[in-house]
Amino acid sequence: MYLIYNEFKSIVTQKVVVEKLLPIQPEEIEAGQAATEFIYEPDKKALLDRLPVMYVELEVYRALLESVGQRAAGRGGPPMENATKSADDMIDSLTLQANRARQAGITKELLEVVAGAAGLMK
């Protein structure tokens, strides 16, 4: 059984992972390393019957979390940068329009004052 999912590395890095789940390969004990006997509760057979199921469930859940995390990060990266840039461009454009309108109003008032002063001098 293989599990294929997107592994979360960073916002810009998407890595597809193919992971072998079953059969489980036991680790080899090195020479000179003593095997430890454990006390199992409930019993060894009941525990070993449940562990593979729990292992697969947890690995699938972890893969789902990795994929969802990658998707969420992907939404926030380049699209958010583009939205921010568009908003900045719109702010610059609206600021320029407001400044032009303000300058046009000032120019109109100055022309009215000069025209009124010129009318008084005649």
> 32, exposed or middle or buried, with CB in 10 Å at 0-12, 13-18, 19+?
exposed
Q: By the 8 A CB rule, do 74 and 11 touch?
A: yes
Residue 105 pLDDT class (50, 70, 90 cuts): very high
**Which residue shows structure tokens 């568009």?**
86
pLDDT digits (tens, 9 = 90+) for 51-93: 889 999 999 999 999 888 877 776 666 777 788 889 999 999 9
Q: Which residue has the higher pLDDT, 34 or 23?
A: 23
φ/ψ of residue 16, rounded to 5: -85, 130
pLDDT at 14 over 80: no
CB atoms within 10 A of CB 31: 5
Instruction: State the burial class of residue 5 (Cβ atoms within 10 Å of its Cβ: 0-12, 13-18, 19+).
Output: buried
* Gap between the Cα atoms of 116 and 109, Å rounded: 10
State the DSSP code for 2: E
